[in-house]
Each structure stands twice: as C-alpha cells, then as structure tokens.
Structure 1
Amino acid sequence: MTGLKKMCVVVFLCIVSLVYSGDYDELFIENLKNYPLNDGKLTIEYKAGDYKGYKSFVASYKSDNLKLYTLLNIPDTGKKTYPVVIVNHGYIPPQEYSTIKSYRLISTYFAQNGFIVLKPDYRGHDKSEILVNDEMQRLYYPVDVLNVLNTVRSVKNADVNNIFLFGHSMGGGVTLTVLEVMKTIRAASLWAAVSIEYPESSLYFMRKRNSESATQIREKLDLMFSEIDYKKLSFTDYFSEISAPVIIHHGTLDDSCPYQWSVDLHDRLIKNNVKSVFHSYVDDHNFAKKYFYTVLKRDVDFFKAAIK
C-alpha cells in the first residue's frame, strides 16, 4: 500500500472512531419504524423544465434537519391524481451526481407513463447537505427516503394510496430496507440490487478497489459492532417483514453487482412468502442498450397491475 493510500485509510478510520458514539442502534431495521421523520413539507425550489407529457421541478425537504433535494416530475395529462414512484438511485460519486441529470431517462419514462416521480439525492449528493462525509452515512440513506415518502401527501395530484419504489444497485438495498419498514408501498422494482448483508454490502465494492483497505475497515467496524449488531443493521435478516410484491431484474454478465445476488434474493423472498418475479437478461450487463425499455415497460406494467 502506498503512503497516500495508508494515510487515507488512517484518516477514514479516525473519522469513523470520532463519529461512532454508540447510537447507530437507531438505524437497526426494527428501530427504523419509529425513526423521527420530518414535518412532511416539500418545497418547490424551481422548475427544471416542461417536457412531453410532464413538468419537472427541483424540490427540497428535510431529513435529520438536513436540507436535501429531489427531482419531482409531475404528469400533465389532466388526471385528478397520479400514482407515485420513488426512484432510489445507485452509487454515483456524490460530487458527480446530478439531481436533474442522473437517472433522467428512467425518471422521464415513469412520468410519461402516468406516474409522479420523486428521485431523492440522498444526503451529501449534489447540493444536498451532509453532517459528516464518511462511509457510515450510507446507513442513513433509507432515512432520507423515508423522509421523502413522508412528503408525498404535500405533492399536488399525488395518489397517496398508490406509492411504488424503484431501486438500482445500492438503491436496491435502500429499497429493500424501506419495504421492511413501510407497509403501505404497493410494489417495488429492483435492478441489479445490492442484496447482501451489512457490512459486506459496502466492503464488497471497497475490496474490488483496494483489498487491504477493505480488510482494515472491516477490522475497525468489528470493534464498533457485534455480529448481532450487523444482523440488526442488515435488511437481509428481515425479508419476512416485506408485504409488497417485488419485480427483480438482473443481467447475467453484470460485473458490478453479481447476478447470483438476485438469484439468491429471489429465492429468499419466496421462502419468506414475498411475491417475487425474477427476470434475467442473458449476456446483458446494465440494461443500457438492448433491454433498457423492455425492463422499464415491465416495471410500469407490474406497478399498474398493483394499483388499487
């Protein structure tokens, strides 16, 4: 390991030591149900544009008293209400993520097919605030989504009885956590979801970049958390809490999130009496070309079939 890499690891571990004060138990899956949420207000900051079939805005809301931003797409086809999709994005370096541009095609597709779309940044992304910028903050991403869900009632024309979740990669893990906490979600879609236990759900990707760093971080985490704590932080131990039907998509050649993860996820959901539909895409990686709109259409059909 180079001197610079060693320094980065030391700095990260020091930050983790300073941040951790024993109160991460509020993020245990069983405790998230009682997590204190915001006041439910969504503030329109500005209009992002008028497009075919929908209007787009950037809005803000509070999460742990942090000001976070979300894309808000609202269909303008004249209906009284529209079902809602929360788009939980995958990993993008926070400084490169864009509230408007990231996941734009997906957000557009849902809006043009009759769904109000909220695509929250997560704390620390783009201009959204963050208290401490370290890896531990990822544990709070489900909180940011729970808070944006709490604002849906303030969105004009939103059908609060028909709310859906979309999650890609890291956002798939966020989605699974939220499904276990909220029983009012109608259905969810998972694209190549990160669906393994904590902390491997983060360390897996660190290890691909620098295995020695990942090992040191795991050793430090082991001093902070017990094996029981890890289980309480892992959505993989609470699949029986999910009541919404789930549709899963994964390409067999995915070199980021292993295809086997979704195979195992589907099996475990079925064993826990969760309605799960699994679509695999042979020789595909990330749906960027051949299957992109096929996958989206399947999502829209799946969601519309669940509307009540």
Structure 2
Amino acid sequence: MLSFSRIVFSGPFWAMFITLLSSGSLAVSTIPQLWNTHFGSGGFKLVRIMSKNSSFTRYQLEYPSDGLKIQGFVNVPSKGTAHPVVVMLHGYVTPSRYRTLDYTTRYADDLARSGFIVFHPNFRGQGGSQGKADADPFRSDYVRDTLNLIGQIRKQKGKGILKGFNGNVGLWGHSMGGGVALKTLVADPLIKAAVLYAPMSGDEAKNLKRIQMWSGGTRGKELSRYSAKTIAQHSALNYLGQVSTAIRVHHGTADTEVPFSWTKELCEKAKGQGLNIRCTSYASAGHIFTGKTDQAFRAEVKIFLKQHL
C-alpha cells in the first residue's frame, strides 16, 4: 500500500538528482518501483478562476511533481456538501498543439454538473506543464504526475475547495490517459473506481509497436532497447492481482486508433482474476464517441461513479 508523505532531499547529490528528474532523465519507474515510492509531497494551488457558471467554478490548477510545476484545471461544483473527486486523464494530442481546455473538457464539465470535483492535470511538457513530453516510453512519468496529485488531494481533504470532499477518489482516462489510469490504479489500491475509455494496452510491448506505427518509426524504438523482463515490469496486465478498484471499460468496435482487441484482452484477464470489472462495447463507434453513443457513455459513467464514489 502506498503511503503519502513528504520527502526531504538535501546535499549536492540530491540537487543533481532533482535536476535530472526534472528534465525527464530519471523519472522512469517500473510498477514495483512505484509501489515503493512516496507520492504527494507539497500541495496543489489555485492560480485563478478561469470561468464560473451556475453549476461549477473552473480554476486553473498548479501542483508539484518530481520537481516540476504541473498545470491543469479543476471544476468545483457550486451546490451540495459531499463531493467525491474524479481525476481525469487526457489522451495523446501532439504536445505542441495540446491546450488546457482540450477535447476532454466537455467530459469534465459534465461530471462537475453532476456533483463531482474534477481535477484535470496536463501531463508534463503539455499545456503549460513543465518537463518534457514523451520522455518516458512507458509513460510512468505521467503516472507519477497522477499519483502526486492524488496524494496532495488526500492530504488537503477538508480544506479550501476540498472542504466537501468525501474522501473517495476515482479515475477517468481516455486512450493514453486510459493506459495511465490502469497503471495508476495498479499502483494505488485506495482508488475506488476507474473509467477506462478506449484505453491503451496494459501490455507495454503492444503499446510500443503501435506507437512505432503511428509515428512512422520516429517513436517507440525503445522496444528493441529494453529486455522482455523490463517491459513486463512496466506492464499493468502482469499486476492485475493487486487491483481492488471497481473498473468500467468502454470501447468502440470500429476504433482505428486503439485496437478493440486490447480491451477484450484486459477484460478477459481481469475477469479471470476476479476483478470487479465490466466492459461495454459500442458497435461501429470510433476512438472518440459522438451523438447517441456519447450520450449513452456519459450516462453510464455517471451512474457507475455515483455508485462507487
């Protein structure tokens, strides 16, 4: 079980370590290493009000992670007294084109209108966050950004915008963010519920092969640089026995970006190990849902999160 406490570094060695970590050189963690790492030092802060309506207020968010300043936004409901938290993790957008209020904003707003406090971080190197995007082929640096935020949320329970926080944290992740969410819930057994929307594979070898294809060979070359053992230690599918989170997976059968077969594999393995998981397929739906499919997806997500958070 993870513990969330403050780590104090001092001396020239640690100064050099923090410099390397901030550049993305050392922030590559296997899943067992994530279990043995303390997350949540420091605390998030609200930079400014971005917008306000009758349902929620959106604040610009900033928080520390591995010596970096990570930005994003948080939606805080205007009504009610007991609110669970959902941490929403975005999918891959070309880092130079990614913006804080990107395509996942509508999902965050929908949940906020339903009474959830929604934290939406921008992964490092994207949307004003410090650091280098795509520095870690296994995206464990994004997992670290997520775990640090969750630790800070728990630590600040009952204060400020978390005065009405009921203590329950859930995850919502799309595509790349779905893969990050899967690895995060493997690392943190206290996460109550997770929504995986067209998620990347829990097998990192498959992810790297797919990334090679997407990028025309400019990315994903790490597949030949790491041993099968190392890749296995980064792959969430090999650690499903550690999971106690309630999981719902949603995937379109016509997804041309992330293969639907990856979700089938995850669901079969998770069910085989007795996990609380339900998987919903959407006939002829693509990577990002639209129309009635999107409406059905959103409705199911809210029912599930209200039940478990």
Tell me which of 171, 178, 197 is aligned to 1:165.
Answer: 171
Classify the secondary structure of the residue corresponding to 2:291.
coil
2:162 counterpart residue number: 156
Classify the secondary structure of the residue corresponding to 1:49.
strand
Alpha-carbon shift at residue 56 of structure 1 (Å): 0.3
1:303 counterpart residue number: 305
Asked whether 1:202 is paired with 2:208, we answer: yes
Tell me which of 196, 199, 210 is aligned to 1:190.
Answer: 196
Q: 1:104 to 1:215 in 2, by over 3 A?
A: closer
Classify the secondary structure of the residue corresponding to 1:56.
strand
Q: Separation in 1 of the partners of 2:245 and 2:75?
A: 24
**What is the TM-score with the length of structure 1 in the denominator?**
0.85
105-114 or 126-135, larger mean C-alpha shift: 126-135
Flag structure 1 segments of 5+ consecutive residues without an equivalent.
1-18
Flag structure 2 segments of 5+ consecutive residues without an equivalent.
1-22
Q: Separation in 2 of the partners of 1:42 and 1:20?
A: 21
Q: Separation in 2 of the partners of 1:215 and 1:177?
A: 19
Percent identity over the alignment is: 26
Q: Which AA in structure 1 matches 2:123?
A: Y
Q: Which AA in structure 2 matches 1:177?
A: K
**1:284-303 correspondence to structure 2 within 5 Å:** 284-285=285-286, 286-303=288-305
**What is the TM-score with the length of structure 2 in the denominator?**
0.84
Q: Is the 8 A contact 1:38 1:65 kept in 2?
A: no
Q: Separation in 2 of the partners of 1:50 and 1:134?
A: 35
Asked whether 1:121 is paired with 2:126, we answer: no
1:44 counterpart residue number: 46
Encode CA deviations 1:114-141: one digit per residue, 9 max, x unaligned. Answer: 0000011010011100057635483311
60-69 or 135-144, larger mean C-alpha shift: 135-144
Q: 1:284 to 1:63 in 2, by over 3 A?
A: same
Alpha-carbon shift at residue 74 of structure 1 (Å): 0.2
2:11 counterpart residue number: none
Alpha-carbon shift at residue 208 of structure 1 (Å): 3.4
Q: Separation in 2 of the partners of 1:193 and 1:215?
A: 18
2:244 counterpart residue number: 243
Alpha-carbon shift at residue 215 of structure 1 (Å): 7.7
Classify the secondary structure of the residue corresponding to 1:190.
strand
Q: 1:135 to 1:203 in 2, by over 3 A?
A: farther
2:86 counterpart residue number: 85
Q: 1:158 to 1:141 in 2, by over 3 A?
A: farther
Q: 1:35 to 1:53 in 2, by over 3 A?
A: same
Runs of 4+, deviation exceeding 6 Å = none
Q: 1:54 to 1:64 in 2, by over 3 A?
A: same
Classify the secondary structure of the residue corresponding to 1:257.
coil
Q: Which AA in structure 1 matches 2:207?
A: S
Q: 1:76 to 1:253 in 2, by over 3 A?
A: same
Q: 1:210 to 1:270 in 2, by over 3 A?
A: same
2:278 counterpart residue number: 277
Classify the secondary structure of the residue corresponding to 2:193.
strand
Q: Separation in 2 of the partners of 1:130 and 1:216?
A: 21
Q: Separation in 2 of the partners of 1:181 and 1:262?
A: 20
Alpha-carbon shift at residue 216 of structure 1 (Å): 5.1
Encode CA deviations 1:130-168: one digit per residue, 9 max, x unaligned. Answer: 057635483311000001101213242352521110011
Encode CA deviations 1:192-225: one digit per residue, 9 max, x unaligned. Answer: 11024124313313213415x4685533x2xxx3
Aligned-residue CA RMSD (Å): 2.1
- Larger proportion of helix: 1
Q: Is the 8 A contact 1:59 1:70 kept in 2?
A: yes
